[in-house]
A and B are shown apart, each in its own frame.
Chain A
Amino acid sequence: MRDREVNSQDIGPEGFTGGLLEKEWAPCRHGCPVHADVRTYIEHAASGDLAGAIDVIREQLPFAAVCGRICHHPCEDNCRREEVDEPVAIREVKRFVAETQGAQGASLHPIGAPSGKKVAIIGAGPSGMSAALELAKYGHSPVVFDRDSVAGGIPATTIPAYRLPPDSVRMDVEWICAHGVELRLGVDIGNDVTIEHLLVSEGFDSVLIAAGLSFSRKLPIAGADHHRAYPVLDYLQTVKKGKRPDIGDDVVVIGAGDVAMDAARTSVRLGAENVKILCLENEEEIPAYEWELREAREEGVEVIQRRGPVRIKTDSKNAIIGLEARKVTRVFDEAGNFSPQYDDSDVVEVSADTVIFAIGQAPDPGYAAGSALEVDERGRISWNPDTCQTDIENIFACGEIVTPPGSVVEACESGKTAAKAIDSFLSGTKIDLGKEFPREIESLPERNAENIISRDRMPVPTLSPEKRKCSFSSFQSTYVPDVAVSEARRCMSCGGGAEVLIDKCSACLTCLRVCPFDAPVVTDVAEIASEGCQACGICEAECPSNAIVMKRYDRDCLKVKTKQAIDAGSDVVAYIGGFRASAAEWRGECGDELPGMAEIYLTATASVGVSDLLYAFEIGAKGVLVIPCSSGNDRYPMVAARTGRRVAQARKLLAESGIDASALLMAEAADEGRSAVVSILKDFMNNNSFQK
């Protein structure tokens, strides 16, 4: 018995194969904390369908625009394209899609029947807002409180505009609020109003604490209370509000995480001449993402490693004149725990007139004032990860206040999970947050990889360090449309490929013989593992037993499109390999489309079978054109050759049936640009007198 056996009845009515996609997940989806269906939205983007793409993204990820800018993209780290050349630039494609579509360009999710239950959420950051969205979808009434005057949490108030402009956050918040999420900004829970009051007097059924980590930690060293020794969040928040903190020309940032990089690069943009990062870690241990560190260095930031601050030195006028730092002999102990040791005999003085502490954040437990919640000396509350509950059953918590520090997408996941727990609690059912995921598709076998055509990753337009140092504007622009679709077409459609219906397989070996990637294996029946399959569709089109379905499209989808075109009045159908085509061509928005001619764009003509070609004639087409890219220039190898064979076979069958075979033609031109394609379409129409 095979562990992943599929029979013909498993594909459901009309040959719909969508359910099979949930049998296995690509590593990009597995790696994503919210398990966004990356393959599907990238595929929508590749065909120019940005409305479809944003809906798939937002299905799981409320902060699509924010994550398009600043996500740490575990999807890309997991991308199997790495085994061929470089990972697909998933985040950049997502940014393009999210920013092009905006808040109004995404569909709203359906809202459940009103439950009459109210939930107060403390904190309008990614976790609180994600929870609010989910609660609204469950039919509850979420109200989000935040002491700040803008919603969005750290992304809105703190992350520098050159990385994340306020518009991106607004886009996401606006879309979330459109689901009936109420915002009450400028309300400081625990100060203006207590949790008790919300529950007892305002009639909230539950409270969710999503307050995040809003205190910057400082070190207890001499001089730390100087007015030019800033906690990093205060510093960044001042700048994001458009104000200029008092800094000198010699800024030292203590710490080497991503927030430290933000502080250093912000200081560069404020005009500081010397900006240094001073950290305990060496190059390998630095916790910031590699690109953050690299970009900071490009902007002139100096990184002093393996030094721990001892004291901030001031002169007689109480101006900071330097920072004494001792040598670090180790940062972590043998077990990998943070346990720094120093050599006090080796102390240097680093010049400085401003110091920024970026050594981590802590919770501000102020929200708990006047409530029965118990807060420990570190500001933490007790929390059950299995139910997201605190020690009071109708008070829940999510986000960094209870989880390890993470990125926006991780906060979204935490918020969504808490919302699920609250929904169970409010509906009186047991909270069960157990998660089981489909099998993860494993790495690409070498014998399959060597047949995949290499494609360069599209570079992101980036300002030179000299230019970006002077501005808080975005230093990286989004892709232009044609570059975005080209990048999306690098996706290998992992998990969207062939599935063998074993009750129909004749073990005829045809799939094995036609696969350009050497993916099928035939024992008693054929097996095509998702590890090697590239989802080109060649085997599906050739299988004599119709025993292969493609998971990423329904078996008869091309026939359905053809029928729609004929029913809409077209006489002639052109099947065009869309690997080199623009988004406008895919969408039929070039403005030079010919009357009576339906252009149907496909990932590649590899999937067009003889029966698809005959079908067009059977339902009334007067002519059919097949236009693959020229040999070697298509998405997959051998497409033009395979397509040519099928067209020849179909012509033979047509001639036998009394249909003029010249009504079916193939031209390898889909890679030669729009004018070449239009010229072929026109010639075909004129030569065959199809025009009405």
Chain B
Amino acid sequence: MIVADRKPLDEIVNMLKPYENVLVLGCGACVSVCLSGGEKQARELAMQLNLRASNEGPGFHADFDCITRQCDREFTENLEKDPANFDAVLSIACGVGVGFMSELYPETPVLPGLNTTFYGANTAPGTWEEYCHGCGDCVLAWTGGICPIARCSKSLINGTCGGTHDGKCEVRDDLDCAWYMIYERLKQLGRLDEYRKMREPRDWGENRSGGPRRLTHEEVMELEEEVSNV
């Protein structure tokens, strides 16, 4: 899932300076799960903004709302507050939600309340770690399920590099070396043959350098209206 982290309040307050009437908009999807952008956090953030504003004089007011997902337009029908009635919307969805809401409400500035950080998994209650980079050309089949793009600091595809020591990465001591992990995992699986293969340079065109990506499932795309022949 997409993991995001709330921006420092000072940054948000600065961002909202030009506006007096703001809607904090939560999202019921990934950012609720990682406890950063759910309805509860939207309410709390609105409260914080109001409290902060009350110290700095009258004029500002923040309200809040939340929909199931900010990345599906249908859910906006469930909005209780109309974004058009606010000077700005502070979305605490991931960047996808911010961008999509911006598109749906072209007249209203939609601002990000979170920093979208990674695709991650819940490794312990209260902890999420990065597992995927969304590179568009998955290599997990020959890396024992461990992603070198997301988890190797250099995104190498023929590791390890000289910076590995005792299973750790030279970048940080608490960072596992992804290629050391891949080696151990392949050994466990009896697939070190994969490790010995030289990989061709990747086509990074599938990554974001190829421009915005799109997925289509034709079988569920909208049907054209049937025209009666009678």
- Interface, chain A (partner B; CB < 8 A): 503-504, 506-510, 513, 543-546, 609-611, 614-615, 617-618, 653-654, 656-659
Q: How long is the Cα–Cα vector from A504 to B39 in the complex, in angstroms?
A: 10
Contact of A503 among B32, B40, B55, B68 (CB under 8 A): B68
Cβ contact within 8 Å between B48 and A614: yes
Contact of B125 among A507, A513, A546, A659 (CB under 8 A): A513
Q: How long is the Cα–Cα vector from A656 to B113 in the complex, in angstroms?
A: 15
Residues of A within 8 A of B40 (CB): 543-546, 609-611
Contact of A618 among B9, B50, B55 (CB under 8 A): B50
Interface string of B37-49 (1 = CB under 8 A from A): 0111101100111
A654, closest chain B residue (CB)? B51
Q: How long is the Cα–Cα vector from A507 to B55 in the complex, in angstroms?
A: 38
* B20-49 interface with A by 8 A CB criterion: 28-29, 32-33, 35, 38-41, 43-44, 47-49
Cβ contact within 8 Å between A658 and B32: no
Cβ contact within 8 Å between B32 and A614: no
Cβ contact within 8 Å between A657 and B48: yes
Q: How long is the Cα–Cα vector from A241 to B194 in the complex, in angstroms?
A: 101
Residues of A within 8 A of B39 (CB): 504, 544-546
Number of A-B contacts (CB under 8 A): 70
The prevalent SS among residues of A at the interface is loop
Contact A544 to B33, CB < 8 A, known contacts A504-B68, A610-B40, A611-B43: yes
Cβ contact within 8 Å between A506 and B38: yes
Cβ contact within 8 Å between B38 and A657: no
Cβ contact within 8 Å between A611 and B28: no
Cβ contact within 8 Å between B50 and A544: no
Given contacts A611-B44, A614-B48, A657-B51, 6 further A-B contacts (CB under 8 A): A545-B38, A545-B39, A614-B51, A653-B48, A657-B9, A657-B52
Interface residue tally for chain B (C-beta within 8 Å) = 24
Residue with the greatest number of chain B CB neighbours at <10 A, chosen from A544, A546, A617: A544
Q: How long is the Cα–Cα vector from A221 to B55 in the complex, in angstroms?
A: 95
List 10 tightest A-B contacts by C-beta distance, closest first: A544-B38, A508-B33, A657-B48, A657-B51, A544-B32, A614-B47, A656-B9, A506-B32, A546-B39, A657-B52
The prevalent SS among residues of B at the interface is helix
Residues of B within 8 A of A618 (CB): 47, 50-51
Q: How long is the Cα–Cα vector from A609 to B51 in the complex, in angstroms?
A: 18
Q: Give min CB distance, B66 to chain A, whole Å.
A: 8
Q: How long is the Cα–Cα vector from A509 to B39 in the complex, in angstroms?
A: 16
Q: Give min CB distance, B9 to chain A, whole Å.
A: 4
Residues of B within 8 A of A508 (CB): 32-33, 38
Cβ contact within 8 Å between B44 and A610: yes
Q: How long is the Cα–Cα vector from A544 to B32 in the complex, in angstroms?
A: 6
* B100-118 interface with A by 8 A CB criterion: none
Residue with the greatest number of chain B CB neighbours at <10 A, chosen from A508, A509, A513, A659: A508
Q: How long is the Cα–Cα vector from A657 to B10 in the complex, in angstroms?
A: 9
B12, closest chain A residue (CB)? A656
A610, closest chain B residue (CB)? B44
Q: How long is the Cα–Cα vector from A615 to B9 in the complex, in angstroms?
A: 18
Residues of A within 8 A of B51 (CB): 614, 617-618, 654, 657-659
Q: How long is the Cα–Cα vector from A543 to B29 in the complex, in angstroms?
A: 13
B36, closest chain A residue (CB)? A544
Residues of B within 8 A of A504 (CB): 28, 39, 68
Cβ contact within 8 Å between B125 and A611: no
Q: How long is the Cα–Cα vector from A508 to B125 in the complex, in angstroms?
A: 11
Residues of B within 8 A of A611 (CB): 40, 43-44, 47
B55, closest chain A residue (CB)? A658
Residues of A within 8 A of B35 (CB): 510, 544
Q: Give min CB distance, B7 to chain A, whole Å.
A: 11
Interface string of B50-76 (1 = CB under 8 A from A): 111001000000000010100000000
B39, closest chain A residue (CB)? A546
Contact A658 to B68, CB < 8 A, known contacts A544-B38, A611-B43: no
Q: How long is the Cα–Cα vector from A507 to B33 in the complex, in angstroms?
A: 8
A650, closest chain B residue (CB)? B44
Residues of B within 8 A of A617 (CB): 47, 51
Q: How long is the Cα–Cα vector from A618 to B125 in the complex, in angstroms?
A: 30
A542, closest chain B residue (CB)? B40
Q: Give min CB distance, B120 to chain A, whole Å.
A: 14
Q: How long is the Cα–Cα vector from A3 to B213 in the complex, in angstroms?
A: 42
Residues of A within 8 A of B47 (CB): 611, 614-615, 617-618, 657
A649, closest chain B residue (CB)? B44
Q: List 16 A-B contacts (CB under 8 A).
A: A506-B28, A506-B32, A506-B38, A506-B68, A510-B35, A545-B32, A545-B38, A611-B44, A615-B47, A618-B51, A656-B8, A656-B9, A657-B9, A657-B49, A658-B52, A659-B51
Q: Give min CB distance, A472 to chain B, whole Å.
A: 62
Q: Give min CB distance, B169 to chain A, whole Å.
A: 30
Q: How long is the Cα–Cα vector from A530 to B51 in the complex, in angstroms?
A: 38
Q: How long is the Cα–Cα vector from A614 to B39 in the complex, in angstroms?
A: 15
Residues of B within 8 A of A657 (CB): 9, 47-49, 51-52
Residue with the greatest number of chain B CB neighbours at <10 A, chosen from A546, A610, A656, A657: A657
Residues of A within 8 A of B38 (CB): 506, 508, 544-546
Cβ contact within 8 Å between A544 and B41: yes
Residues of A within 8 A of B28 (CB): 504, 506, 545
Q: Give min CB distance, B141 to chain A, whole Å.
A: 28
* B164-212 interface with A by 8 A CB criterion: none
Cβ contact within 8 Å between A653 and B125: no
Interface string of B124-147 (1 = CB under 8 A from A): 010000000000000000000000
Q: How long is the Cα–Cα vector from A657 to B50 in the complex, in angstroms?
A: 9
Residues of B within 8 A of A614 (CB): 44, 47-48, 51
Residues of B within 8 A of A615 (CB): 47
Residues of A within 8 A of B125 (CB): 513
Q: How long is the Cα–Cα vector from A656 to B47 in the complex, in angstroms?
A: 12
B10, closest chain A residue (CB)? A656
Q: How long is the Cα–Cα vector from A540 to B33 in the complex, in angstroms?
A: 15
Residues of B within 8 A of A545 (CB): 28, 32, 38-40, 66
Q: Give min CB distance, A11 to chain B, whole Å.
A: 14
Q: Give min CB distance, B72 to chain A, whole Å.
A: 13
Residues of A within 8 A of B50 (CB): 618
Residue with the greatest number of chain B CB neighbours at <10 A, chosen from A507, A545, A609, A617: A545
Q: How long is the Cα–Cα vector from A615 to B43 in the complex, in angstroms?
A: 10
Residues of A within 8 A of B66 (CB): 545-546
Residues of A within 8 A of B48 (CB): 614, 653, 656-657
Q: How long is the Cα–Cα vector from A121 to B55 in the complex, in angstroms?
A: 71
Q: How long is the Cα–Cα vector from A507 to B32 in the complex, in angstroms?
A: 10
Q: How long is the Cα–Cα vector from A545 to B36 in the complex, in angstroms?
A: 11
Residue with the greatest number of chain A CB neighbours at <10 A, chosen from B47, B122, B125: B47
Residues of B within 8 A of A543 (CB): 40
B54, closest chain A residue (CB)? A618
Residues of B within 8 A of A509 (CB): 33, 122
Q: Give min CB distance, A644 to chain B, whole Å.
A: 15
A514, closest chain B residue (CB)? B125
Q: How long is the Cα–Cα vector from A503 to B77 in the complex, in angstroms?
A: 14
Residues of B within 8 A of A610 (CB): 40, 44
Q: Give min CB distance, A515 to chain B, whole Å.
A: 12
Q: Give min CB distance, B52 to chain A, whole Å.
A: 5
Cβ contact within 8 Å between B44 and A653: yes
